[in-house]
């Protein structure tokens, strides 16, 4: 009972935090399988004797999906459902490798590495019985890139020839201005490098060689979309929904539940064993935890406040699985380059006003932090210290890239150098540095840990500014903080998706970083077809980024789940969105108990 | 009387107007917008979305557009749930929220008033202490604590009820009780105080000296008079229960609209926030009119003209 009560109190804390109204959107929470010993991959088909009579899977869904329009989706809740409903030409397998899905094989690549040709499998059909034709892939890509749709993930298709004409500089692609008139948009769409010479062939032409592009085509935005369907009224409601993947949506009671059933027209090799997936929509992690303990749902991401109790529990403990996520916790240093003018901020004209523009100062801050102690103190010891920005399991991950390890003596030396350059006698004379974070996300202890470490090491004063989520994001983008909380979850397992953040003027370059050498290596790497050479280029770029002490990488994510013992066939992959194996529900089954 | 009611109902219009103006301008003066994400949307995408939703217009133009649409019953598009309109979202969840609120209200009245009477009749004796203790606990326990305690004991440990959802009567029990906890306590305390005050009135002494049986004194003279002040708080209580079930809806995963009242603020879902505010304002204003009218029936001294 004592343990339960402890759990209750913890749950209350969660709710209090949750009521802050923060909406931490969506680093799609992928999880890695490779090299993880705690993650059994059971993909062998079960024999009928082992199966329970009722093959209904009950799980929770964290909130109402904002949209189930594949071209428009951007958050992990929507993606968790879309993965079951749709498949594209390619998909990611359990190892994070790109494999063919609706295409017969990986694309035929032209000699200049710029043209990818796909052939569709025979007899592909949508859930409504219509054939899946090559033109639907073309339409889907065109629609995503159409500025009138304003699709949030359009920029990942930037490498397609002609995409820069549609998206333009303002949408983070090329240097042109995006067209606004319907006729201009239509003309630009016609010139786009996607074509369907016949119903079974899709040809994609890239502006420059981009070897990572097959990873992009495995994303939820690049699935076939039937124009007749998506342009019809209430297309994304259950009654009208047309899917190309292993499951169909038979019911969507908004804000209450989503029901999926096997797609009779699914032609994939693995047919679903589950006869129904019943997703209960609930916003409250504590409620999901209670539902799991009550046997109502088969899996749950353990709320962080419950982790200690659950692990110690004799019944729940053995059901715990810890799965690495391709996500990183880091803190921004303001490198001081205005992303709009690419010059130092006006307010940083006097370096004293922006001490984080000084490299020695950033090195000092970095060396004053013991990452392991940070994780133990503020993440209950869950997670691994991050000494690389590219995450484990992705090519370009550098396990021991740590030019400025925890070393207080060295930190103090660098601080002395920095203070001399800044022309102040001691760190306290710099005044209070602005240290921004968003409230309601559990970041307070982490911010306090870092601020206190810096105060103890250098006597550095910080003003810890906690703001509501949206306010915080606005201020952080505008470069108004000296130090700020940040995080990133991989969209697709490729170094480009992670290091690409820090390209000069990039939309997510919250550290206001700008280094031409880094940008040059990034461009080279994107065009390098040889895998080994490419990875080497990304590693060189990452080394520059780290040698500049441009930000403070702290922790690679690890998520704690509880999985009911009766659930089998979970294919854990880097592509999972919210729950283990949710990218491939078709392999899951309920064991006989 | 009819004229009075009509006049009071008309007064709701300027109230709603004032509430809408204040909310609209406050809401837009907060930094941030509906397109804020941890992973930024490109500026061009944000500009385009702003243009599509009219957010690039001057604020007074936006207000005029919103008000024009509102009068015609169009609550606008949701910024977060882009494939749906606010009308759809409200229509989907409003009756669930109202049902939960009304059930909790009836429970609160059914338990709170007898509890208060029970306490007053046993003034400074055991019944009073018991009832007062219950109501103090009810007031001091936040609704989310009560909700989670009930989930843990009655759902997880005893397995009597599901932990969440809204699929049938067994799903209604825990949230209704959890939501009614606070108003039970408030109503009980009001009833008790009001009863005690009435007990000292001359007409009660008269009734007792006439030789009426205690039961008749209590039911005919005391309770009827004591309930007048209690009715005052019932209106706002019902409004609060119907619109203020945000936390309970969240804890029990109930598909109502109450939770949008808070989440819409965090996501800057302007049109949804406006819809919820107007709903709340209307509920409070309207139920206050209802309460004032009820006075006239309960208390013969009050007559409107």
pLDDT tens for each residue of A519-534: 999 888 887 878 889 9
Distance CA(A210)–CA(A583), nearest Å, equals 25
Q: Which residue has the higher pLDDT, B75 or A41?
A: B75
Q: Is A568 left (phi over 0), alpha (psi -120 to 50) or beta?
A: beta
Give the tokens for residue B176: 């209704």
Q: Alpha helix locations (H) across chain B?
A: 2-29, 43-52, 59-71, 86-121, 126-140, 143-150, 169-199, 202-209, 214-216, 224-243, 246-251, 260-266, 270-298
Distance CA(A438)–CA(A448), nearest Å, equals 13
CA distance B222 to chain A (A): 42
All residues of chain B having their beta carbon less than 8 Å from the beta carbon of residue A64 are 81
Give the tokens for residue A284: 């409250």
pTM above 0.80, yes or no: yes
Residue A372 above 80 pLDDT?
yes
CA distance A489 to chain B (A): 9
- Considering only CA atoms, which of A70, A591, A61 is closest in space to residue A278? A61
pLDDT of residue B243: 67
Nearest CA in chain A to B83: A67
Residue A22 above 70 pLDDT?
no
All residues of chain B having their beta carbon less than 8 Å from the beta carbon of residue A474 are 31-33, 36
Asked if the Cβ–Cβ distance from B266 to A23 is below 8 Å, we say: yes
Mean pLDDT in chain A?
Answer: 86
Asked if the Cβ–Cβ distance from B52 to A150 is below 8 Å, we say: yes
All residues of chain B having their beta carbon less than 8 Å from the beta carbon of residue A169 are 44
- Tens-place pLDDT, residues B163-194: 888 888 999 999 999 999 899 998 999 889 88
Please provide the DSSP assignment of A416-459 as one string: HHHHHHHT-SSGGGG-EEEEEEETTSS-HHHHHHHHHHHHHHH-
First to last CA, chain B: 6
- Tens-place pLDDT, residues A164-184: 888 876 655 766 777 878 888
All residues of chain A having their beta carbon less than 8 Å from the beta carbon of residue B44 are 147, 167-172, 178
Asked if the Cβ–Cβ distance from A4 to B152 is below 8 Å, we say: yes
Q: How confident is the model at residue A484 (pLDDT cuts 50, 70, 90)?
A: very high
What does residue A114 show for φ and ψ, rounded to 5 degrees? -105, -15
Distance CA(A531)–CA(A536), nearest Å, equals 9
Asked if the Cβ–Cβ distance from B38 to A283 is below 8 Å, we say: no
Asked if the Cβ–Cβ distance from B253 to A284 is below 8 Å, we say: yes
All residues of chain A having their beta carbon less than 8 Å from the beta carbon of residue B91 are none
Count of all residues that appear for chain B in the document? 305
Nearest CA in chain B to A16: B144
pLDDT of residue A175: 67
Average pLDDT over residues B196-200: 84
Asked if the Cβ–Cβ distance from A280 to B164 is below 8 Å, we say: yes
CA distance B239 to chain A (A): 21
Distance CA(B135)–CA(B146), nearest Å, equals 13
Give the tokens for residue A475: 């201020």
All residues of chain B having their beta carbon less than 8 Å from the beta carbon of residue A256 are 165-166, 253, 255
Give the tokens for residue B221: 């003279």
Asked if the Cβ–Cβ distance from A473 to B84 is below 8 Å, we say: no
Three-class DSSP category at A249? strand
Residue B39 above 80 pLDDT?
no
Average pLDDT over residues B25-38: 84
Q: How confident is the model at residue A478 (pLDDT cuts 50, 70, 90)?
A: confident
User: Which stretch of DSSP H or E encloses residue A561?
Assistant: strand A551-563
Residue A108 above 60 pLDDT?
yes
Residue where the block lists tokens 């609060």: B240
Q: Which residue has the higher pLDDT, A9 or B3?
A: B3
* CB-CB contact of A113 with A209 (8 Å): yes
- Tens-place pLDDT, residues B90-148: 898 889 998 999 999 999 999 999 899 888 888 888 888 998 898 888 888 888 888 88
All residues of chain B having their beta carbon less than 8 Å from the beta carbon of residue A19 are 144, 246-247, 250, 262
- Tell me which of A28, A290, A328, A481 to substitute to probe the interface with B (most B C-beta atoms closer than 10 Å): A290
Nearest CA in chain A to B167: A256
The residues, any chain, with a CB within 8 Å of residue B260's CB and separated by 6 or more, are: B89, B93, B269, B272, B276
Closest to A256 (Cβ–Cβ): which among B43, B250, B255? Answer: B255
Average pLDDT over residues A415-439: 91
Average pLDDT over residues A76-91: 94
Distance CA(B155)–CA(B172), nearest Å, equals 12
All residues of chain B having their beta carbon less than 8 Å from the beta carbon of residue A284 are 164, 250-251, 253
B/e letters for A139-155, b = 16+ CB within 10 Å, e = fewer, are bbbbbbbbbebbbbbbb
- Tens-place pLDDT, residues A257-296: 999 999 999 988 899 999 999 999 988 888 899 999 999 9
The residues, any chain, with a CB within 8 Å of residue A24's CB and separated by 6 or more, are: A438, A441, A469, B38
Which residue pairs from B83-87 have beta carbons closer than 8 angstroms and sit at least 24 positions apart in sequence? Answer: B83/A67, B83/A68, B83/A69, B83/A72, B83/A235, B83/A236, B84/A254, B86/B271, B86/B272, B86/B275
User: Which stretch of DSSP H or E encloses residue A590?
Assistant: strand A589-590
Size of interface A-B (CB pairs under 8 A): 182
Residue A34 above 50 pLDDT?
no
pLDDT of residue A44: 56
């Amino acid at each position: 009972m004592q343990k339960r009560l402890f759990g209750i109190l913890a749950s209350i804390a969660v709710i209090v935090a949750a009521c802050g109204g923060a909406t931490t959107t969506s680093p799609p929470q992928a999880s890695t399988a490779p090299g993880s010993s705690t993650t059994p991959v059971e993909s062998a088909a079960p024999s009928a004797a082992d199966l329970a009579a009722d093959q209904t899977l009950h799980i929770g869904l964290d909130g109402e999906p904002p949209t189930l329009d594949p071209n428009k989706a951007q958050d992990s809740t929507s993606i968790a459902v879309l993965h079951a409903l749709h498949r594209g030409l390619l998909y990611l397998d359990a190892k994070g490798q790109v494999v063919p899905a609706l295409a017969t094989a990986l694309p035929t690549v032209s000699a200049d590495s710029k043209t990818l040709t796909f052939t569709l499998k025979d007899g592909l059909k949508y859930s409504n019985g219509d054939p899946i034709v090559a033109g639907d892939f073309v339409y889907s890509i065109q629609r995503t890139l159409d500025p009138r749709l304003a699709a949030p993930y359009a920029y990942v298709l930037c490498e397609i020839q002609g995409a820069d004409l549609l998206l333009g500089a303002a949408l983070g692609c090329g240097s042109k201005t995006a067209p606004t008139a319907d006729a201009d948009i239509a003309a630009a769409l016609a010139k786009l490098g996607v074509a369907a010479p016949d119903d079974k062939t899709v040809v994609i032409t890239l502006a420059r060689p981009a070897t990572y592009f097959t990873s992009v085509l495995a994303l939820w935005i690049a699935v076939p979309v039937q124009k007749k369907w998506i342009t019809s009224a209430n297309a994304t409601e259950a009654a009208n929904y047309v899917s190309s993947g292993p499951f169909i949506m038979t019911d969507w009671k908004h804000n209450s539940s989503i029901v999926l059933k096997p797609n009779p027209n699914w032609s994939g090799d693995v047919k679903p064993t589950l006869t129904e997936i019943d997703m209960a929509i609930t916003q409250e992690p504590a409620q999901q935890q209670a539902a799991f303990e009550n046997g109502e749902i088969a899996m749950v991401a353990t709320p962080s406040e419950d982790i200690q109790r659950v692990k110690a529990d004799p019944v729940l403990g053995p059901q715990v699985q810890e799965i690495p996520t391709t996500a990183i916790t880091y803190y921004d240093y303001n490198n001081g380059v205005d992303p709009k003018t690419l010059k130092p901020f006006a307010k940083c004209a006097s370096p004293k006003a922006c001490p984080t523009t000084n490299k020695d100062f950033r090195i000092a801050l970095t060396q004053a932090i013991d990452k392991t102690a940070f994780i133990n103190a503020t993440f209950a010891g869950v997670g691994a210290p991050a000494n690389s920005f590219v995450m484990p399991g992705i090519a370009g991950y550098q396990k021991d890239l740590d030019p400025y390890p925890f070393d207080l003596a060295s930190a103090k030396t660098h601080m002395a150098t920095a203070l001399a350059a800044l022309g102040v006698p001691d760190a306290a004379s710099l005044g209070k540095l602005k240290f921004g974070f968003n409230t309601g996300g559990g970041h307070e202890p982490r911010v306090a840990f870092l601020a206190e470490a810096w105060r103890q090491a250098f006597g550095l004063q910080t003003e810890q500014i906690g703001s509501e989520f949206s306010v915080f994001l606005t201020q952080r983008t505008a470069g108004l903080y000296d130090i700020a909380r940040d995080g990133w979850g991989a969209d697709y397992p490729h170094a480009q998706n992670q290091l690409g953040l820090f390209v000069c003027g990039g939309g997510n370059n919250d550290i206001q970083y700008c280094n031409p050498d880094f940008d040059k290596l990034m461009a080279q790497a994107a065009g390098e077809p040889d895998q080994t050479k490419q990875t080497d280029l990304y590693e060189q770029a990452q080394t520059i980024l780290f040698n500049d002490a441009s930000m403070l990488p702290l922790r690679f994510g690890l998520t704690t789940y509880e999985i009911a013992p009766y659930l089998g066939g979970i294919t854990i992959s880097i592509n999972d969105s919210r729950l283990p194996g949710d990218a491939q529900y078709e392999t899951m089954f309920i064991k006989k108990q | 009387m009819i004229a009075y009611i009509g006049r009071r109902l008309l007064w709701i219009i300027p109230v709603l107007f004032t509430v809408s103006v204040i909310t609209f301008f406050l809401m837009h003066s907060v930094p941030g917008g509906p397109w804020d994400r941890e992973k930024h949307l490109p500026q061009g995408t944000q500009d385009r979305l702003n243009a599509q939703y009219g957010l690039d217009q001057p604020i007074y133009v936006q207000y005029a557009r919103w008000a024009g649409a509102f009068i015609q019953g169009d609550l606008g598009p949701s910024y977060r749930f882009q494939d749906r309109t606010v009308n759809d979202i409200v229509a989907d969840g409003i009756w669930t929220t109202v049902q939960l609120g009304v059930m909790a209200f009836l429970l609160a009245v059914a338990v709170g008033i007898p509890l208060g009477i029970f306490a007053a009749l046993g003034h400074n004796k055991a019944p009073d202490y018991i009832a007062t203790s219950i109501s103090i606990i009810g007031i001091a326990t936040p609704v989310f604590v009560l909700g989670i305690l009930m989930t843990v004991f009655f759902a997880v440990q005893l397995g009597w009820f599901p932990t969440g959802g809204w699929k049938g009567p067994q799903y209604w029990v825990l949230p209704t009780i959890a939501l009614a906890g606070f108003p039970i306590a408030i109503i009980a305390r009001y009833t008790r105080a009001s009863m005690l005050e009435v007990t000292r009135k001359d007409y009660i002494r008269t009734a007792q000296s006439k030789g009426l049986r205690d039961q008749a004194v209590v039911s005919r003279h005391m309770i009827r008079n004591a309930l007048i002040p209690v009715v005052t708080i019932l209106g706002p209580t019902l409004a609060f229960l119907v619109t203020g079930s945000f936390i309970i809806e969240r804890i029990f995963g109930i598909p109502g609209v109450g939770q949008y009242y808070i989440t819409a603020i965090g996501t800057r879902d302007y049109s949804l926030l406006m819809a919820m505010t107007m709903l709340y304002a209307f509920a409070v204003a309207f139920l206050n009119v209802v309460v004032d009218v009820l006075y006239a029936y309960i208390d013969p001294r009050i007559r409107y003209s």
